[in-house]
């Protein structure tokens, strides 16, 4: 597993003064490799508000994407990564609290989601997040995933997984609270 500078002068929040009818808050993740623009869903207010709070406090500044699994996802938000020595074990740090699950949105390519440990309530890490890279799925693989997880995707959702990809095996277990709208080449 490789670590990449998140250079996370993370998040210059762009949409906080947006009109109330707007469905999203826009944010930018600034990395050493380029910028990633994301939207944060209003339907996940606990996660959205926590992400905004931490970003505004500078919590994410100079952290690493400490977990990078090519073709799957990149993960950041561990404060222990700030000045970590090469080879340091990362992924356990956080602000000392968890966020109640707000599970609903699928893990399409570009999904911004909250990491978590194996707690049975599926509560999210207070700071760690990941962005799904994912790969397009074959129809048989997606059908098998639906059967195994007891999920029934809409035709539109199925089409996104088949054409753009994602990680449907995570659906129903982790909170997706936003998505990448620009900068997937950086991811």
Structure tokens at 158: 């199925």
pLDDT the model gives residue 24? 83
End-to-end alpha carbon distance in the chain: 15
User: For residue 157, what are the CA distances in angstroms to 26, 49, 127?
Assistant: 23, 26, 28
Mind listing the pLDDT tens digit for each residue in 63-103? 999 999 999 999 999 999 999 998 899 999 999 999 999 99
d(CA 40, CA 2) in angstroms, rounded, equals: 27
| pLDDT surpassing 90 at residue 49 | yes
Position 26 in a domain:
yes
Question: Number of folded domains in the chain?
Answer: 1
Asked if 47 and 114 touch (Cβ cutoff 8 Å), the reply is: yes
Q: Which domain holds residue 109?
A: 4-182
Domain containing residue 144: CATH number: 2.40.100.10
- Average model confidence (pLDDT) across the chain: 89
Report the number of secondary-structure helices (H) and strands (E) in the chain.
3, 10
- What are the helix (H) ranges across 57-182? 139-149, 155-163
| pLDDT surpassing 50 at residue 19 | no
**Listed range (11-20, 30-39, 61-70, 86-95) with the worst mean pLDDT:** 11-20
Position 94 in a domain:
yes
Asked if 127 and 76 touch (Cβ cutoff 8 Å), the reply is: no
| pLDDT surpassing 60 at residue 37 | yes
Position 110 in a domain:
yes
**Listed range (55-64, 96-105, 130-139) with the worst mean pLDDT:** 55-64
| pLDDT surpassing 70 at residue 46 | yes
Position 143 in a domain:
yes
How much of the chain exceeds pLDDT 90, in percent? 80
Structure tokens at 110: 């570009």
Query: What is residue 62's DSSP assignment?
Result: T
Structure tokens at 179: 């998505």
Position 71 in a domain:
yes
d(CA 154, CA 63) in angstroms, rounded, equals: 37
Mind listing the pLDDT tens digit for each residue in 101-120? 999 999 999 999 999 999 99
Position 95 in a domain:
yes
User: For residue 175, what are the CA distances in angstroms to 4, 60, 88?
Assistant: 24, 19, 27
Position 187 in a domain:
no
**Which distant-in-sequence residues (6+ apart) come within 8 Å of 126 by Cβ?**
50, 94, 95, 96, 97, 98, 99
């Amino acid at each position: 597993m490789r670590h990449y500078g998140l250079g996370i002068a993370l998040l210059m929040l762009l949409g906080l003064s947006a009109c109330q009818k707007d469905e999203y808050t826009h944010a930018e993740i600034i990395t050493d490799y380029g910028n990633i623009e994301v939207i944060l869903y209003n339907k996940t207010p606990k996660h959205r508000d926590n992400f905004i709070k931490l970003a505004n406090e500078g919590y994410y500044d100079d952290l690493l994407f400490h977990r990078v699994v090519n073709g799957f996802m990149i993960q950041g938000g561990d404060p222990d990564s700030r000045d970590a020595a090469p080879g340091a074990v990362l992924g356990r740090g956080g602000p000392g609290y968890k966020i109640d699950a707000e599970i609903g949105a699928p893990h399409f390519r570009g999904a911004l989601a909250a990491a978590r440990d194996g707690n049975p309530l599926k509560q999210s890490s207070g700071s760690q997040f990941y962005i799904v890279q994912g790969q397009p799925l074959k129809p048989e693989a997606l059908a098998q995933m639906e059967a195994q997880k007891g999920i029934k995707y809409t035709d539109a959702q199925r089409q996104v997984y088949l054409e753009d990809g994602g990680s449907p095996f995570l659906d129903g277990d982790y909170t997706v609270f936003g998505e990448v709208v620009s900068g997937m080449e950086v991811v």
